[in-house]
Every structure is written in structure tokens, then in C-alpha cells.
């Protein structure tokens, strides 16, 4: 099994938009490598003919007519927002995106 | 006997004959919470005012002669990953520390409609991603049988609330054992219903293809009552099953004779605590003596269950936690640009166990690793489900241990995902197959409660509850309540 390195875990953290400091990253490398060891039995499986199961439901979702129901009020929608500007969620400038 | 010492069925009888009021019942449990919770820390939020309001409304309706649900006025504790409108829902995470849902989970709406007061929200592993209730961002919940030990998890707070008489009933959620394992560690009956039997709408997901809400209670009768109250079709959950909900309580006393029981070779025996093996053996013996037909069964793909489960849960978890960006709700850090805002908010929001799961899921779902870890996990899941399906051609239900050991010491497995995962050994196969399972308290190991697990075909919760009820009548000790000697010694936080 190829072990994950600090750099790879740092890269994963960036992909997952998850800030981690150096010490945290070191601990996560250890944790992830232990987790990957546990997944090794899966790599021994050779089952190309078996259809994978990813959905828990063994039945098709029943169909129904669309129905208009009341939705949340603006006050309810914004009640947990960190910053609001009129009827918008306010976030930092998106056009300054880097990386 | 104090009201808080009674079962839900007992309270229901007294409420229906108006010997007691719902407000008296809620006050009794709130008093108990005030006295006991500082020692075991089961509740994140106590919603006293709302519970008393619901109880008062029930009392008014009853006085007005309205016909009410049998559980009207019987309070419930709710795991804090189920949304309660107007009451903080934290998932035991800094991410949602101040989140007040603007909507109600379907199961909570059902409780309100039927008149069950919600006492409060109980502690869990952060986002339910754990098996010990040690990874809550707020505090560890302690096992009332031995406060140096974990209560199990992730529904540890719900289990402790019921076990100590702080609530007669509780809702938990079970992705890969999170109802059954704490039920076993605390001496309760805990049911994981068939996937889709109970609505997941408003439950914050751990892994959507596995998550299921279910009841924890002192006995099978109470479990059947709460399961009947929350089960049913929900338009808001696309995986919800449309099948009619049976009257579970009415079937508890049906005879067990003639049932065909398969003993799962992989879920007891070598590697399991001898006293747990003995509990399984004795439970099987009692059933056999009463006409149950017993044979052994092997589930050959069980050996892939843990790795398939870890792979699928991590992948689904990392995807579903992508929604926590600090914009619309949740912990938010102002950043110099939006990318920094996302990563700083998320970095501060989650604890190490959750971060580990997110990164593992991100890795597994990457183009280079998908075929190595994710796809085979889905294939293994197919084979595991097929094992169960074939087993149910021969048997009406299967039996094994819930866990290999009784409740372990706080800190003993913390930070070691391998050790923690072993605690899930018997719990994830049936979850992957989507079939219902129950943990039934039966016997003890070193003075700690032990659970025996039964698994049935889809939608046969009635068989599980019937067998649980039967074993209650045949177990060595009647009640399974811990003696709370720590209340006399003091030292609560």
C-alpha cells in the first residue's frame, strides 16, 4: 500500500476547502494511513461482473404530481446567515479568487 | 414509584385514565435531568419551555375529551442531529453551535402532531461520525453503569437519557450501529428500522444511503410504541417506503414457536468476550426451548463489511459536508476572498475525526482512487446484501452479538480509527443490506450490560420486537437500570 504523504494530505485539504495547520496535517496523515490500511481488503476484490450498490433504497421512488406548498420566509432563510445585505447572503469578493 | 422511573407504556396508561397530567410527567423528567445530567452529560440543550407547552396542550385536549394517541404526553429526548424548528440543532459540532433550524424534521413533526413533548437534544459524536460519543465538540457523555466508560455512540446521549430515567423514550440515528451499540452498552432496547421505514427528512446526514432514524427505550413495548409513532411514508424523503405501518404493539405477544433462527457464525465465538458469547448462547437456548427452530448460517462476505462501510461512509460524508461553507448558516470566518472564507470556516468548524473522514472521502472519490476503493465497496455491498437475502430464504431472523466487548473505557480507543471500527464489526453488514436489526439487553459482562442482536428481512420489525419482548420475559433480571451511586457521592459538573 502506498502511504499518503504530508504533501498529498495538504493537497486533499485544499481540494476539500479545509484549512489545517502543519501539526494537524501530520496527525491527519497518520489517521488517514491507518484508515487506508483498513480498506485494503477492498483492493483484493476482483468482481467486475457484480453490479455495485450505492443507493440504500431497493425500490423506485413513487411518482407524484407537483404541488405548490409554502416555502420559508426571507426572515427564516436569513436567520442563520453570518452576513446579510438586503435580500442577499453577503460573502467576500468572488472575483479575487486565487490558487 | 416516581414518574421518571416508569416506562412509556406505564405513563401512557396513567395519562389515558387521567390519574396524572402530561405537565406532571414532563416536570418529573425535567427535575430528573437537573439532578442527574451534570454527572453524565447526556443533553446538549434542554427545551423545558417547549416541552411544558406541548404537555399543557395535551392536558387541555384530554380534558376536552379529544381522542389522543397513546403516547400523547409521554416525553422524548431527541438526538441533536435531527432538526427541531426553533430549538438549536448542533450535531455536536462547532459548525452548528448556534444553528436554529427554520424547519422541522418529519419525525419531530410526527411527535408534535401526536402530542409527545420533546425534552431536549442529546449529545453525539460530531456529525454522528463515531461510536463512543467522545468526539462531540462540547463534552464527553459518560456511561451511567460506570462513568469511566463510554456510553457507546453515536447516539450515546439518547441512550444515557433513557437509561438514567431522564427520558422514557429517545430518538437516535443508526448509520452503522449508532442506535444498537449504545443500546447494548447502556442496557436498552434499540431498533434500527428498515432503510426507508422512517423518514430521514431533517436528519443531518452522515451517509445518506445508510442513515436511519429509530427508537431507544427501556423495553420492547416502549420501542414498539415509539417506532409506530415515527414510521411511515414521507413525501419529503425520496427513499421513504410507501408500505403500511403495522400495529407493532399488537404483535408483541404472538408466540415465537415455529420461527426459524439462524446463528451468524461471524458474529459470535472467537474474538468475542466470553460473557457476550454466553449471552448469545443463553438467548438462543431460551428461544429453542420455546419452539424456535435453530441452525447455523455463515455470511461469507461479512469480512468485507467493515472496509466497504468505511469507504462508502467516508465518500458520502465528505460529499454531504460540502454544504457547510459558513454562508447560509453555520460557523463563519470572514476571509480576504471566498476561497479563504470557505477553508477557514470549515477548518474551524470541524474536529479531527470529522476532518479525517472528509479527507478520506475526498481521496476515495478522486479519479485515481475511485476504482480502487469506492467501486469495490459498492460491489462488496451488493454481495453482502445478497448474503442476507439468501439467509432469509432459510430463516425468519438471524442472531449474533451486538459488540465484541461491553462498554470500553473513555480514551481507550480514541484517535485510533482501527480500534474504533472493530466496535462496529457486527453492526455494519446489516446496515449495508438495509435490513432491520434490534439490540436486546440480555445478561452482563463484568457488571456491564450486554446486548444480543437480531436481524430480520426488510419491514419485519414486528418479528424483532416480538422476540425482544419474549426474551424480556425470560431474562435473569427484570429491570436493567444502573444504580446511580454517583448521585450520593457528588462530583457532577
For residue A12, the chain B residues in CB contact (below 8 A) are 359, 362-363
Tell me, what's the pLDDT at B477?
67
| Res A93: pLDDT | 80
Q: Other CB atoms closer than 10 Å to residue B260's CB: what's the count?
A: 14
Q: A15 contacts in B (CB within 8 Å)?
A: 362, 366
Q: Does residue B89 contact residue B204 with C-beta atoms inside 8 Å?
A: yes
Cβ distance B416 to A34 less than 8 Å, yes or no, reads: yes
How far away is chain B from the Cα of A30, in angstroms, using its nearest Cα?
10
Question: Shortest CB distance from B209 goes to which of A17, A54, A64?
Answer: A54
Rounded distance, CA B109 to CA B107, Å? 5
**C-beta of residue B321 within 8 angstroms of C-beta of residue B358:** yes
Q: Report CB contact under 8 Å: A47, B381.
A: no
pLDDT at residue A98 is higher than 80: no
Residues of chain A with C-beta less than 8 angstroms from the C-beta of B372: 42-43
How high is the pLDDT of residue A96? Answer: 56
Which chain A residues have a beta carbon less than 8 Å from that of B311?
39, 42
Residues of B labelled catalytic? 79, 154, 178
Residue-level pLDDT at A28: 96
Residue whose cell numbers read 457521592:
B489
Contact (Cβ atoms closer than 8 angstroms) between residue B93 and residue B126: yes
pLDDT given for residue B40 in this prediction: 98
Q: Which residue of A has its CA nearest to B332?
A: A82
Does the distance separating the beta carbons of A18 and B418 come in below 8 Å? no
Chain A: residue nearest B334 by CA? A92
Chain A residue numbers with beta carbons less than 8 Å from the beta carbon of B378 are: 52-54
Nearest CB neighbour to B379, from listed A15, A52, A79: A52
Task: Give the DSSP H/E element, type plus range, for residue B442.
Answer: strand B437-445
Domains of chain A plus CATH, in order, are 1-46 (1.10.20)
Q: How many CB atoms lie within 10 A of CB A38?
A: 18
pLDDT of residue A56: 76
Q: How far apart are CA B430 and CA B384, in angstroms?
A: 8
CB proximity B319 to A under 8 Å:
no
CA distance B491 to B488: 9
How much is the pLDDT for A99? 52
Q: Which residue of A has its CA nearest to B356?
A: A28
Asked if A15 lies within 8 A of B362 by C-beta distance, the reply is: yes
Rounded to the nearest angstrom, the minimum Cα separation between A50 and chain B is 6
Q: Which three cell numbers stand for residue A30?
A: 497518520
DSSP state for residue B145 in the 8-state scheme: T
Residues 203-232 of chain B whose Cβ lies under 8 A from any Cβ of chain A:
208-210
Choose from B334, B335, B355 for mutation: most chain A CBs within 10 A: B355
Among A14, A80, A93, beta carbon nearest to B99? A80
- Domain edges within chain B: 3-258+460-489
Q: Are B78 and B171 in contact (CB under 8 A)?
A: yes
Q: How far is CA B329 from CA A89, B47, B204, B458, in A?
A: 10, 21, 13, 37
Contact B362 A98 (CB under 8 A): no
ipTM strictly over 0.95? no
Fold of B3-258+460-489: Amidase signature (AS) enzymes (3.90.1300)
The pLDDT tens digits for B176-191 are: 999 999 999 999 999 9
pLDDT of residue B489: 81
Model pLDDT, residue B479: 57
Query: Where residue A62 falls among pLDDT bands split at 50, 70, 90?
Result: confident
Those residues with Cβ within 8 angstroms of residue B391's Cβ, 6 or more apart along the chain or in another chain: B262, B297, B299, B398
Question: In this predicted model, which residue has the larger pLDDT, A61 or B255?
Answer: B255
In whole angstroms, how far apart are CA B68 and each of B14, B189, B401? 13, 25, 38
Residues of chain B with pLDDT under 50: none
Amino acid at each position: 500500500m502506498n502511504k499518503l504523504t504530508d504533501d498529498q494530505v495538504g493537497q486533499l485539504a485544499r481540494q476539500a476547502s479545509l484549512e489545517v495547520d502543519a501539526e494537524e496535517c501530520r496527525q491527519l496523515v497518520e489517521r488517514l494511513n491507518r484508515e487506508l490500511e483498513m480498506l485494503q481488503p477492498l483492493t483484493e476484490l476482483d468482481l467486475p461482473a457484480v453490479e455495485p450498490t450505492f443507493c440504500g433504497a431497493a425500490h423506485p421512488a413513487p411518482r407524484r404530481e407537483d404541488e405548490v406548498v409554502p416555502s420559508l420566509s426571507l426572515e427564516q432563510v436569513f436567520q442563520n446567515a453570518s452576513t446579510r445585505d438586503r435580500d442577499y447572503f453577503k460573502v467576500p469578493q468572488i472575483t479575487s479568487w486565487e490558487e | 414509584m416516581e414518574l421518571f422511573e416508569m416506562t412509556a407504556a406505564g405513563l401512557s396508561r396513567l395519562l389515558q385514565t387521567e390519574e396524572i397530567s402530561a405537565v406532571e410527567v414532563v416536570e418529573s423528567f425535567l427535575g430528573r435531568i437537573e439532578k442527574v445530567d451534570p454527572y453524565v452529560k447526556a443533553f446538549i440543550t434542554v427545551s423545558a419551555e417547549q416541552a411544558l407547552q406541548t404537555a399543557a396542550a395535551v392536558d387541555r385536549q384530554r380534558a376536552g375529551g379529544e381522542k389522543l394517541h397513546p403516547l400523547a404526553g409521554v416525553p422524548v429526548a431527541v438526538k441533536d442531529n435531527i432538526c427541531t424548528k426553533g430549538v438549536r440543532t448542533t450535531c455536536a459540532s462547532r459548525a452548528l453551535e448556534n444553528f436554529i433550524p427554520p424547519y422541522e424534521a418529519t419525525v419531530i413533526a410526527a411527535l408534535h402532531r401526536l402530542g409527545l413533548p420533546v425534552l431536549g437534544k442529546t449529545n453525539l459524536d460530531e456529525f454522528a461520525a463515531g461510536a463512543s460519543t467522545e468526539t462531540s465538540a462540547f463534552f464527553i457523555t459518560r456511561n451511567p453503569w460506570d462513568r469511566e466508560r463510554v456510553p457507546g455512540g453515536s447516539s450515546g446521549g439518547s441512550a444515557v437519557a433513557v437509561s438514567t430515567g431522564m427520558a422514557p423514550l429517545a430518538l437516535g440515528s443508526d448509520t452503522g450501529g449508532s442506535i444498537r451499540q449504545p443500546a447494548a452498552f447502556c442496557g436498552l432496547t434499540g431498533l434500527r428500522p428498515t432503510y426507508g421505514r422512517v423518514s430521514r427528512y431533517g436528519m443531518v446526514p452522515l451517509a445518506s444511503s445508510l442513515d436511519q432514524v429509530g427508537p431507544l427505550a427501556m423495553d420492547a413495548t416502549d420501542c414498539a410504541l415509539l417506532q409506530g409513532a415515527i414510521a411511515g411514508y414521507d413525501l419529503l424523503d425520496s427513499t421513504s417506503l410507501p408500505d403500511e405501518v403495522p400495529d407493532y404493539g399488537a404483535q408483541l405477544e404472538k408466540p415465537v414457536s415455529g420461527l426459524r433462527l439462524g446463528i451468524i457464525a461471524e458474529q459470535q465465538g472467537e474474538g468475542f468476550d466470553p460473557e457476550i458469547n454466553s449471552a448469545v448462547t443463553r438467548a438462543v437456548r431460551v428461544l429453542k426451548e420455546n419452539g424456535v427452530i435453530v441452525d447455523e448460517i455463515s455470511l461469507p462476505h461479512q469480512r468485507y463489511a467493515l472496509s466497504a462501510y468505511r469507504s462508502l461512509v467516508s465518500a458520502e460524508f465528505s460529499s454531504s459536508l460540502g454544504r457547510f461553507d459558513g454562508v447560509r448558516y453555520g460557523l463563519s470566518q470572514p476571509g480576504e476572498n471566498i476561497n479563504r472564507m470557505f477553508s477557514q470556516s470549515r477548518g474551524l468548524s470541524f474536529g479531527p475525526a470529522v476532518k479525517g473522514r472528509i479527507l478520506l472521502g475526498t481521496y476515495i472519490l478522486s479519479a485515481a482512487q475511485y476504482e480502487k476503493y469506492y467501486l469495490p465497496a459498492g460491489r462488496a455491498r451488493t454481495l453482502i446484501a445478497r448474503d442476507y437475502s439468501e439467509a432469509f430464504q432459510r430463516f425468519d431472523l438471524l442472531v449474533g452479538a451486538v459488540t465484541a466487548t461491553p462498554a470500553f473505557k473513555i480514551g481507550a480507543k480514541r484517535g485510533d480509527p482501527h480500534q474504533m471500527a472493530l466496535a462496529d464489526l457486527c453492526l455494519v453488514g446489516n446496515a449495508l443490506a438495509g435490513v432491520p436489526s434490534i439490540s436486546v439487553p440480555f445478561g452482563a459482562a463484568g457488571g456491564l450490560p450486554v446486548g444480543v442482536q437480531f436481524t430480520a428481512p426488510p419491514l419485519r420489525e414486528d418479528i424483532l420486537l416480538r422476540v425482544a419482548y419474549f426474551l424480556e420475559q425470560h431474562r435473569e433480571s427484570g429491570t436493567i437500570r444502573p444504580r446511580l451511586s454517583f448521585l450520593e457521592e457528588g462530583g457532577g459538573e
